């Protein structure tokens, strides 16, 4: 029986998607990477697809990964980015509810143990992925700017992150140019 806090414990915690060891995940038999959009792949509501992100996606695809955006943001925002990036997507996903994760796995004919969830939020991305038995990777949010609802959640997230730190979670170093962050910074400053 997993402990109460385990439900929010990510399998990995890295600064950004670029720090994810795609080769290792592939060797471990993972085939599908579900990505949160806002503050995981790009800043909140930013429609641009940076070249470094395109390169990361291409590298993953060359290894044999399929990618799918799973976002709680609205359809038009997500589909615009999806079109720009060429990635399939599920918008208004209502994470952490399992339905969108399950739909994505169905779409790509992937089992939970073959599937990775990458996101910047504990209560939606990590919790939802853990609930479905996926390999979960928490990243530092790209930018401070967020939806007001997310800002509220960050306060509780900060509390849970501290509990997880007591259970061995190590915060990654922020990268050069990466913006300051509320919850994670607080966690790191105390470690
Ligand atoms: Mg996010």
Per residue in 21-58, pLDDT tens?
999 999 999 999 999 999 999 988 888 899 999 999 99
Ligand 1 centroid from CA 21, angstroms = 20
Strands 115-119 and 66-70: unpaired
Q: How far is the CA of 10 from the centre of ligand 1 (A)?
A: 15
% of the chain surpassing 90 pLDDT: 77
Is-above-0.85 flag for pTM? Answer: yes
What residue ranges do the domains of the chain occupy? 4-190
For residues 114 and 69, give the distance between their C-alpha atoms in angstroms, rounded to a whole number.
Answer: 16
Task: Indicate if the pLDDT at residue 147 is higher than 60.
Answer: yes
The CA 62 to ligand 1 mean position distance, Å, reads 25
CB atoms within 10 A of CB 121: 26
CA of residue 183 relative to chain centroid, distance = 15
- Cα 161 from chain centroid? 15
- Distance in Å, CA 69 to ligand 1 centroid: 11
Q: By the 8 A CB rule, do 74 and 91 touch?
A: yes
> Token pair 């979670």 is at which residue?
169
Mean per-residue pLDDT over the chain, rounded: 90
The alpha carbon of 59 and the centre of ligand 1 are apart by a number of angstroms equal to 22
* pLDDT of 124 strictly over 90: yes
User: Do residues 20 and 14 touch, judged by C-beta distance below 8 A?
Assistant: yes
Please give the pLDDT value at position 179: 55
Is the CATH code 3.40.50.1000 the one for domain 4-190? yes
Q: What is the CA(120)–ligand 1 centre distance, in A?
A: 5
Where is 67: in which H helix or E strand? strand 66-70
Place of tokens 């994810």: 20
Instruction: Kindly indicate the confidence band of residue 178, based on its pLDDT and cuts at 50, 70 and 90.
Output: low
The rounded Å distance from CA 121 to ligand 1 centre is 6
Alpha-carbon distance 122 to 134, whole Å?
Answer: 14
Rounded to the nearest angstrom, the distance between the alpha carbon of 174 and the centre of ligand 1 is: 17
In the reported structure, the alpha carbon of residue 158 is separated from the centroid of ligand 1 by a whole-number distance in angstroms of: 15
Q: What separation in Å is there between the alpha carbon of 73 and the centre of ligand 1?
A: 9
| 179 vs 54: CA distance, rounded Å | 21
User: 117 by DSSP, 3-state: which?
Assistant: strand
**Residues in contact with 186: Cβ distance below 8 Å, sequence separation at least 6, in sequence order:** 158, 161, 162
């Amino acid at each position: 029986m997993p402990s109460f806090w385990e439900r929010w414990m990510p399998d990995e915690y890295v600064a950004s998607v670029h720090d994810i060891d795609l080769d290792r995940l592939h060797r471990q038999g993972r085939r599908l990477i579900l990505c949160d959009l806002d503050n995981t792949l790009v800043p909140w509501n930013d429609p641009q697809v940076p070249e470094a992100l395109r390169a990361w996606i291409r590298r993953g695809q060359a290894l044999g990964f399929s990618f799918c955006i799973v976002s709680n943001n609205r359809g038009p925002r997500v589909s615009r980015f999806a079109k720009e990036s060429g990635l399939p997507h599920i918008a208004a996903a209502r994470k952490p509810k399992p339905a969108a994760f399950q739909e994505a796995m169905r779409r790509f004919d992937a089992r939970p143990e073959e599937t990775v969830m990458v996101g910047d939020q504990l209560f939606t991305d990590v919790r939802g992925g853990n609930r479905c038995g996926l390999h979960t990777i928490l990243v530092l949010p790209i930018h401070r700017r967020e939806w007001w609802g997310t800002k509220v959640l960050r306060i509780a997230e900060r509390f849970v992150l501290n509990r997880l730190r007591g259970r061995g979670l190590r915060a990654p170093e922020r990268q050069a140019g990466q913006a300051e962050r509320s919850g994670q910074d607080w966690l790191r400053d105390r470690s």
